[in-house]
Homo-oligomer: A and B are copies of this chain.
Amino acid sequence: MATVDFWFDYSSPYAYLGATQIEAVAARAGGDVRWRPMLLGGVFKAIGTPNVPLMLAGQAKQQHYGKDMLRWAAWWEVPFAWPTRFPMNTIKALRVTLVSPDPAKFIHRAFKAYWVEDQDLANANVLATLLSDIGQDPALVAETENPTVKERLIAETNEAVRLGVFGAPTSVVDGELFWGQDRLGFVERALQGWKPKTA
């Protein structure tokens, strides 16, 4: 069965939008999803991208992105609301993801908390409540201070960099990287064996 590795960080609006679709994309192609949390700020730092590139775009482009996100939300009929806190420190939420017994469930809950409900993902109490919401142990939040968990997130982020990831979301199918929620059509076909010549 073909697999798509879906690299994401809660800090990215486009990762949220892509996360609402990736399972359906994989299902249509008869494949499955492997959720890959990474610290996007760590990726940017490693490859020398200015932090939060979205905020460095010119005014016309920035305004367009704002509209563009709402269009994708309308296109896919999913809720979306620009949060009052941006950028967001997502490091704790990413660590919780790594220890969750059912990561997909937590991932959807956390994305929604930030990109629909305007919740503060940097707040440990908020994360505990999100875990409770989905029937998982709120005490898992304590694991965010576990050095092994911290190391795992660093290792995952390094792995993303090694693969050539430079933004979120990035879908990887059979070693090929597809950047963006706007390339899921390519991802679906890649899961079915599409291999266009790209060199």
Contact = CB atoms under 8 A, between A and B. Distances in A.
Interface of A: 47-49, 58-61, 63-64, 66-68, 70-71, 73-75, 164-167, 177, 179, 182-183, 185-186, 189, 196-199
A166 B189 CA distance: 31
A71 B198 CA distance: 7
Nearest to A66: B198
A84 B75 CA distance: 38
Contacts of A70: 196-199
A59 B161 CA distance: 12
A52 to B, nearest CB: 15
A166 B196 contact: no
A43 to B, nearest CB: 9
Contacts of A197: 70, 74
A90 to B, nearest CB: 21
B182 A182 contact: yes
Nearest to A61: B166
A167 B164 CA distance: 26
A58 B49 CA distance: 7
A74 to B, nearest CB: 3
B47 A60 contact: yes
A197 B67 CA distance: 8
